[in-house]
Amino acid sequence: MTIWTSEPDQFHTTGICPWCREARSLSALTRAVEIENPKRLGIHGPIRYRILRCNSCLSGILYEEYEIFVIGYGKSLQKHLYPSNLPVPVDERIPEDIRNPFYEARLCFEHHAHNAAACVARKALQRLCIKLGASKEERWLSKQLKHLVENGKITRESFDLAMAVKIVGDEGAHLEDVSPEDVQEALDLLDHLTDRIFIRIPKAKEITDRAQQRRQEKEENSGNA
């Protein structure tokens, strides 16, 4: 049996927003709805649901609460937010065609699909190579990476990181199962690579360009004086 509670819509709480992945203040959009006598094991009393909104990203979240009995402690209120298991979002500054498979790889990893995560991380890496000027016609990822390092598009250090991501991706696609630890490392390396190429290097260039512009303006002004 489902009962709409009569309490006014004033419910607020804090929790990790599944979308922001940060502690946020959350406010109710609806009154609570209760499911009485749920058959889920260990639950005492009704399960109460509300739809909340994250006050930061404004996304909707399903909130569930119920009580359980803990021996030697008594009643304990349990709170859950859904969707759960969402991965950390990939930075918006990373181009979409790389960001999407990278996010997909994180999503696979959060759901323990490690071989799939390794393969999709490799796909994101290959798209990164093409974005930096590697040939689409060249089907071997190792040759694309070699081309980039030889033409100064990536450093030797980035090449080594990328090769590790590629190797884990190859393992994910072939006969043996890949280890979750290796996939976690590969995703960290891909994060490091994309952060360096699409965020830090452009940011450093921006600072240098601005400083150069200021210097130039100063020189022009002193020349005019």
**Interface residue list for Zn ion (CB under 5 A):** 17, 19-20, 54, 56-57
Nearer residue to Zn ion within complex by CB, 26 or 117:
26
Nearer residue to Zn ion within complex by CB, 56 or 184:
56
Nearest-approach distance from CB 58 to Zn ion, in angstroms: 7
Nearer residue to Zn ion within complex by CB, 27 or 184:
27
What sign does the dihedral 212-215-221-222 (CA atoms) show?
negative
Question: Which residues, at least 6 apart from 48, have a Cβ–Cβ distance to it below 8 Å?
Answer: 5, 32, 33, 34, 64, 65, 66
Nearest-approach distance from CB 30 to Zn ion, in angstroms: 17
Nearer residue to Zn ion within complex by CB, 57 or 132:
57
Instruction: Report the C-alpha gap between 51 and 214 in whole angstroms.
Output: 52
Nearest-approach distance from CB 151 to Zn ion, in angstroms: 42
State which amino acid sits at residue 30.
T
Instruction: Report the C-alpha gap between 134 and 197 in whole angstroms.
Output: 15
Helix, strand, or coil here: 48? strand
Question: Which residues, at least 6 apart from 129, have a Cβ–Cβ distance to it below 8 Å?
Answer: 141, 144, 145, 148, 162
Nearer residue to Zn ion within complex by CB, 54 or 168:
54
Alpha helices in 35-152 (DSSP H): 96-110, 114-131, 141-150
Element (H, E) at 33: strand 33-35
Nearest-approach distance from CB 17 to Zn ion, in angstroms: 3
Nearest-approach distance from CB 132 to Zn ion, in angstroms: 33
